[in-house]
Amino acid sequence: MRTQKQLVLYQSILDVLQESGCPFCRFLKEYQAARLQHHSEHDIHHLCNFHTWGLAAVQNALTAAEVFIHLVDDPAKISSDASACDICMEVTAEEDRRIREFVGCINRADVSDWLRGAPVLCIPHGIKLRHQVQPVVAARIDTIIEHCRRQLTQELQSLRDKPEADRPGWGSLGRAAEFLVSQRGLHS
């Protein structure tokens, strides 16, 4: 939700399989940012803390100002309950659609190739996905998650154990956070 970021609007979960990181996180991060940038004051009735701040950071300041004017007139529309947040509900519905889409395409060559390659999944999306696939695919998802876990453990141990001057970049902390709880703002 950076103010100057150009959004990539993906049409399908298949569009992001060759990108780095968890494809569901990548897709939903862009979807979430687009929803924040393209809402009007009449579309938003309740926002959680994260999405209130996210709206403040979007490119379209005029749209954000209109939404905030609407919300300031009725502060009860700001909620600590993410289940009442309009953006959270939209992201959750889109997440469900994309998981169903992926499961529906599981026998396609590009999806099979992705599963056999070096894919990355975060724990939340791996768990959601494995509950909807056949046992053999669920076992592959478990292998993917275990591979990601081992790789992150090595990176984090290296970060912890090296002298400060020799430490690798801090990006492993962000990757670990995404692996554990998915991209920021996708799950509360």
What is the spatial distance between Cα 156 and Cα 181, in angstroms, rounded to a whole number? 16
- Other C-beta atoms lying within 10 Å of the C-beta of residue 112: 14
Helix (H, G, I), strand (E, B) or coil at 20: coil
Give the residue, 107 or 4, on which the prediction is more confident: 107
Do residues 16 and 28 make contact, with C-beta atoms less than 8 angstroms apart?
no
Q: Is the pLDDT of residue 124 over 50?
A: yes
Give the residue, 139 or 41, on which the prediction is more confident: 139
Do residues 176 and 22 make contact, with C-beta atoms less than 8 angstroms apart?
no
What is the spatial distance between Cα 173 and Cα 105, in angstroms, rounded to a whole number? 32
Q: State pTM to two decimals.
A: 0.83
Q: Is the pLDDT of residue 172 over 70?
A: yes
Report the DSSP beta bridge partners of residue 81.
Answer: none
Q: Which of 49, 53, 28, 80 is nearest to 186 (CA)?
A: 28
Q: What percent of the chain has pLDDT over 90?
A: 43
Q: Is the pLDDT of residue 99 over 80?
A: yes
Exposure pattern of 70-95 as b/e (b: 16+ CB <10 Å)? bbeeeeebbbeebeebbbbebbbebb
What distances in angstroms separate CA 148 from CA 23, 118, 119, 170, one per listed residue? 14, 9, 9, 17
Helix (H, G, I), strand (E, B) or coil at 51: helix
What is the spatial distance between Cα 170 and Cα 155, in angstroms, rounded to a whole number? 10
What is the spatial distance between Cα 181 and Cα 188, in angstroms, rounded to a whole number? 9
Res 2: pLDDT: 42
What is the spatial distance between Cα 79 and Cα 127, in angstroms, rounded to a whole number? 28
Give the residue, 187 or 188, on which the prediction is more confident: 187
Task: Render pLDDT for 161-170 as a digit per residue (tens, 0 to 9).
Answer: 877 776 666 6
